[in-house]
Amino acid sequence: MPASPQHIQQQLEALQHRYLKRLQQDWPEITAMASQLLDTNAQNWQDIVKGLKFRFHTLAGSAGTFGMPELGQQAKALEMELDAWLDLKQGPDIERKQHFLNMVQELSNYSISEPQTTPTPLFQSLDDEFTRKAQILVFSKDGELGKQLTKAMDPFGHQVVSCQQLEELQKTVAVQKPDILVLDMPHNRLPDALKKVLSQLLADEQQPTVLFTVGEKESFTHYLAAVRLGAVGYFMKPVDAAAIELRIQRLLAQRQQPRFRILIVDDDVMLAEHYRLIIEQAGMEAKVVNDPTKMLIGLQGFQPDVILLDVNMPDCTGPELAQIIRFKDEWLGVPIVYLSSETDSQRQLDALVKAGDDFISKPITDQALAVTVFARAQRARQLAEMMTRDSLTGLLQHATVKERLGDEIAKAKRSKQELIVVMLDLDHFKRVNDQYGHLVGDQVISSLANLLQQKLRKTDVIGRYGGEEFLLALPDCSLKKAKTILDGIRESFQAIPFSAQDKPFQCTFSAGLARVDTSQSADENIDRADQALYQAKHNGRNRVELA
């Protein structure tokens, strides 16, 4: 479970105080190093300059993050001055060295000052608990829409409440805010009181209500009116309940996805810890690696969506590390975002050319860091999903689900736990396509996919094997229990009311179950479940058979 916002806030404040204490302890050493430069006979002046340059580079990148932006700006100026010294063959003259020392001594005043800002919470942490069941509120004057959706949503476990009067709606939302509001659009202009209710529901920053609208006509004008109300969906009467349920599942699935994982590689321990806390405060999961040589271990165990990589680290630069990451095909698609106080645009471009995807200049505000990382992770996850997920159902594709089954077989062999493989197929599906068209057939397939995702566990493997066939793997589950679960899903699916061409109809499926033999391959186990599915079809369909 992620830490609470209050706990993260306390950690951020404690980290800021630790940083200030470390700065006060380090400054005498920095001043002493700068004083050594006044010795005109010093043979190692270049080593001293390089050491100081690294110290000020680190300070330039971290001070602003901990509420001391002026210190960071001055440190950057000193770093650039030292960088210029390295181009001098004989080193700077005594006057230039004295001026530099004076600047360092003046800067020491910043090191004992209090931070200008204290960390503030950014976002509410995301809750790991998730359900694919929604609280749906229907507002319709005639009440028929509410009755229809109540019946249609029941197999999916959604709770539907219907209101016909504005006063009833106001009282209902005051008691419990719905996940989804389905509004039957009136013929005339919406009353101001209804607009106020909608505005309050949709303006909730933490978890706004999703608005669907239902109307009798489809036109640009009607669509525009719905958009201006804040709707994310418009459905024509008579309402296709399966289409609404499909849209609900897609919205809820966005909340179900695991938290984004961010790997932070930075040798500055305190700064990396600050980044970790900010990223976790924004609802993501973060892991820190301070030693670049341990980075590959962090990758294998963590499977990040994004890698935040410091450019300047001792012994190994960020671009060098990025190129090492790209040696492995499995990490080619993971975005690498460089973090550095480097302001030279050419050096930034050089870093990006070497295996990077983006460049963030330190210091960066906490909110900018969180938003940048979140956007990158979201895009990376979407691209990864496109590669492994079926576009219609969102389930694992054929090759991927077979690969996952193979992984589960290996896991079951190690743990000596039972594993059940299921082959599932819609009954008489060709008739649905022939009679109602492939678009309606797609709705049937999507509804079954949604039902499977809702009724099964997160640990279960669910894939679209092909066409109207599905492949499931149920770990740590007995054959008897698996049959009970599949029979329950079968009954729920049979109860879903579909409609096409103003005609209602139902669909069913058959399934074959087999206890996995860990001495056999994935294909051999699938074949045994497929034989049981064939038996279910032979015995009359709409049933579950065991191998």
Active-site residue set: 468
415 token code pair: 């743990």
**Contact (CB, 8 A) for 206 and 124:** yes
What is the DSSP-derived secondary structure letter of residue 20?
H
Residue 464 phi, psi dihedral angles, 5° rounding:
-90, 110
Report helix, strand or coil for 503: strand
Of the candidates 169, 122, 111, 102, the residue with the CA atom closest to the CA atom of residue 141: 169
Q: Which of 380, 379, 381 is nearest to 257 (CA)?
A: 381
Cα–Cα distance, 403 to 119 (Å, whole number): 45
CB 501 within 8 A of CB 485: no
Query: Residue 408: which of 338, 461, 484, 334 has the closest Cα?
Result: 461
Q: Which of 211, 215, 253, 219 is nearest to 235 (CA)?
A: 215
- 251: closest CA among 149, 199, 179? 179
Q: 3-state DSSP call for residue 311?
A: coil
Measured CA angle at 323 (ends 335, 332), to 5 deg = 40
Pure H helices in 176-268? 192-202, 220-229, 241-256
Per the listing, tokens 């109207």 go with 468
* Cβ 405 vs Cβ 471: under 8 Å: yes
Residue reference for tokens 């976002």: 123
| Tokens encoding 418 | 């039972």
Q: Are 289 and 264 in contact (CB under 8 A)?
A: yes
For residue 35, report the phi and psi dihedrals to the nearest 5 degrees.
-65, -30
Q: Give 83-98 as a 3 state SS string.
A: HHHCCCCCCCCHHHHH
Q: Angle 269-281/5-36 helices, nearest 10 degrees?
A: 160
Helix (H, G, I), strand (E, B) or coil at 447: helix
Check if the beta carbon of residue 444 is closer than 8 Å to that of residue 432: yes
Question: Distance from CA of residue 151 to its chain's centroid?
Answer: 33
Assigned token pair, 395: 């389930």
Helix 69-85 / helix 94-111 crossing angle, nearest 10 deg: 160
- Single out the residue of 388, 402, 420 nearest to residue 523, CA to CA: 402
Distance CA 397, CA 404 (A): 10
8 A C-beta contact, residue 248 and residue 158: yes
Side chain identity at 260, as an amino acid letter?
A: F
